[in-house]
Amino acid sequence: MEKHLKEAIQILDLSAHPELEDVRIYLMDVTCLPPEVLAYLTSTLCLKEKKKAVRFRKELDRRVYVAGRGMLRVLVGECLNLYPPEIEIAEERFGKPYLKGFRDAFQFNISNSHQYVAIAIHPGDQQIGVDLEYINTKLDYWEIASHYFTSNECDNIFTHRDFYCNWTKKEALLKATGVGLIDELNTLDFSKEVNFVDTSDERLRLFKNRKYTLYTLGNEEVIVTLGIREQLARPDYFDMEVVEEDPHAAAAVSHVFLV
């Protein structure tokens, strides 16, 4: 069992970012999981999750859901010394999941695309969000970009990888806040290393004057962005220190101030 899990799961390299020493991002390819491992992960699900799993029409979608939720329970159980099936996962106001009894002490987020699942965990009170996107080189991304990206962002998009990097930044930030996707994605401009985003959206207004840092990394097949809220909030956010990006870092770093 352990051998199969190690073959299917990769821990993304965040060693170039000491500020993330307590954060782990796990990337899993569900097609590498043999039936017995998938059966074990299914056994860790709660009744509601099992009922949802059987409703998926496509086998890959079912495997992704079962593997993602099951592995999340296994990882959380290992961190908190809990029995995976007994872990209670609830939802916040806008649908962001959290652990009952550990809301301010343990953070997690999950994302999936194609055959891959990304799980981010953080034993602390800093909000986190993760978005994973499979790089579909057949996608005609220009129509999507022109609708959901700002003109400055579009000016920086030359490849499919550029497109997915920008898309995952938006989703990771919104998932970190917990509001989920908003209608006016083209009001969020992440074209610079330091970005000031207007909280005109009613849901984002709840997070005004907060700073988030985005870490984007990946490989030839996927892009993953982690969004994490900075622990120290200061009213003079225009003067807040920004950590310079190491050119040899594992992730590209950008910063977002909600104003």
Domains of the chain, residue spans: 2-258
d(CA 154, CA 42): 42
Identify the band that residue 198 occupies on the pLDDT scale cut at 50, 70 and 90: confident
State whether residue 139 is helix, strand or coil.
Answer: coil
The CATH code of domain 2-258 reads 3.90.470.20
Q: How much of the chain is helix, strand and coil, in % rounded to 5?
A: 35, 25, 40
Q: What is the pLDDT of residues 16-64, one digit of tens each?
A: 999 999 999 999 999 999 999 999 999 999 999 999 999 999 999 999 9
- Left (φ > 0), alpha (ψ -120 to 50) or beta: where does 218 sit? left
User: In this structure, what token pair is assigned to residue 137?
Assistant: 């080189």
- The residue written with tokens 């809220």 in the block is 229
Rounded CA Rg of the chain: 18
Distance between CA atoms of 232 and 196, rounded to whole angstroms?
17
CB atoms within 10 A of CB 45: 20
Span 52-101, pLDDT tens digits? 999 999 999 999 999 999 999 999 999 999 999 999 999 998 889 999 99
0.85 cut: is pTM over it?
yes
